[in-house]
Amino acid sequence: MSRWPIAVEFKEDESLSSWLIRSALSLGCDPIVLTGWLWPKWRAWTFDLDRGLNTDKISELVKCSELNRSMFEAASLLSSASKFSARDLPRHGVWPWIQALGARNRLYRGGTQYCPLCFDCDLTPYFRKHWRFSWVTACHKHAVQMIDRCPGCHMPIESHRLQALDTAVLSQCPSCCFDYRSSPILPATTETTEFQRTALMVKNDGGVTICGSVVSTHEWFDLCKHLLLLIRRSVYLPKSTLAIAIRDSCPGAPIISSDNLILQLELLNVGARTDLLASLHHLLNNLEAFSKNLESAGALSTCLVDKGGRIPISLHFLFDALIKPDPRIYGSRILRPTKAKSKGTVMKSWVRLKRKYRLE
């Protein structure tokens, strides 16, 4: 393959998909045309390109752009996602703490978000790699809430469907031609901004101290995932000892609707993640008070474990202080399925159906 006549450099923290879209528009062609020419037998935009490319595909890009191979590897989410979990990342499916695109053909159901003020300040607008992190709900530079739907038509952000005849920049909606730089602005909450600052520090420093114990980056993110599980459980069971302990420990936390928790974190919209992460921030900063409130409420240790009976090592100090149920009683309980499905099960199916058809 020959070298492209126009060289497009990577911007700071730019994602791989953003660079490909900008390259295509700079060359005067649609993104789908460029990737079809690069990889004729591969439908590139039906995959999440930000997860990274294999060696052969990167080699084609290196030949055409004459950029260093390390630039393409650095633009991938793989290195960051590997820090968020000790488990192997699945080839298909959701990656922990990475917003899922929900791609079906070339249509997305979410996953991409942007800051309108960043776009407005850019000489050439581009998508940042860290905007794909699930714990990012606000722009730390401008202190405004991220946007994950076009304000004009409420469709997901799908800049890969832009056409070169319509625009030369990627800050435009391919469905209604709305300019993302003109989006209405909402101020970010203090809790989410502080949580993002903490998460970024843990990611960059490789660890943090929690209640006197040093935990690694992936242990801290596993801890946060487990605390999110407890918050979800308290929302669904508002009269439980767990819910009471969380409310008493975090009086300033926002009230969360159970309707916003049906999907997992990586599939939620920015508004639902904002409230959830704000509650997580409060709980993280009040773990010792949470432990005392659990103990005073007479909570059982089983309220802290997941479905597999597991709990992060960093939370064992909570588990050890609680009452252990009699295994002869607890283990003999039989859960009998009801004939009619519960309201929660029906609502989960309804939300997944709306996501499938991109209704919200």
- pLDDT digit string, tens, across residues 7-37: 899 999 999 999 999 999 999 999 999 999 9
* 351 and 229 within one domain: yes
Q: Tell whether 190 is covered by a domain.
A: no
pLDDT at position 358 is 66
pLDDT at position 222 is 93
Q: Tell whether 196 is covered by a domain.
A: no
Please give the tally of structural domains in the chain: 2
pLDDT at position 309 is 81
* 58 and 168 within one domain: yes
* 127 and 40 within one domain: yes
Instruction: At 7, list the tokens.
Output: 């060289």
pLDDT at position 334 is 42
pLDDT at position 181 is 96
| 144-145/138-139 β-pairing | antiparallel
Residue 338 structural domain: 208-356
Instruction: At 144, list the tokens.
Output: 């405004």
* 251 and 327 within one domain: yes
Using CA atoms, how far residue 87 sits from 48, 52, 76, 81, 162, in Å, is 20, 18, 18, 10, 36
pLDDT tens across 126-173, in order? 999 999 999 999 999 999 999 999 999 999 999 999 999 999 899 999
Q: Tell whether 70 is covered by a domain.
A: yes
Q: Tell whether 74 is covered by a domain.
A: yes
Q: Please identify, among 147, 182, 217, the residue that sits at the C-terminal boundary of a domain.
A: 182
pLDDT at position 221 is 94
* 144 and 24 within one domain: yes
CA gap 173, 155 in Å, rounded: 9
Q: Tell whether 316 is covered by a domain.
A: yes
Chunked in runs of 10, what are the mean pLDDT values of the chain (360 residues)? 85 96 95 95 94 94 92 94 90 92 88 96 96 96 96 95 93 95 95 94 89 87 94 93 93 86 92 94 93 88 85 82 61 50 76 70
* 257 and 132 within one domain: no
| 207-210/144-145 β-pairing | unpaired
* 120 and 216 within one domain: no
* 163 and 271 within one domain: no
CA gap 337, 89 in Å, rounded: 33
* 320 and 261 within one domain: yes
Q: Tell me how far the alpha carbon of residue 57 is from its chain's centroid.
A: 26
* 161 and 275 within one domain: no
Q: Which amino acid is at 316?
A: H
CB count within 10 Å of CB 61 equals 22
Q: Please identify, among 164, 182, 200, the residue that sits at the C-terminal boundary of a domain.
A: 182
Q: What percent of the chain has pLDDT over 70?
A: 94
Q: Tell whether 191 is covered by a domain.
A: no
Which residue, among 325, 286, 335, has the nearest Cα to 303 in the 3D structure?
A: 325
* 346 and 269 within one domain: yes
Q: Please identify, among 167, 182, 197, the residue that sits at the C-terminal boundary of a domain.
A: 182
CB count within 10 Å of CB 122 equals 13
- DSSP codes, 204-255: HHSEEEETTEEEEHHHHHHHHHHHHHHHHHHHHSTTSHHHHHHHHH-TTSPP
Q: Tell whether 11 is covered by a domain.
A: no
Q: Tell whether 3 is covered by a domain.
A: no
CA gap 155, 180 in Å, rounded: 12
* 342 and 222 within one domain: yes
Supply angle C-alpha 121, 127, 133, rounded to 5: 120
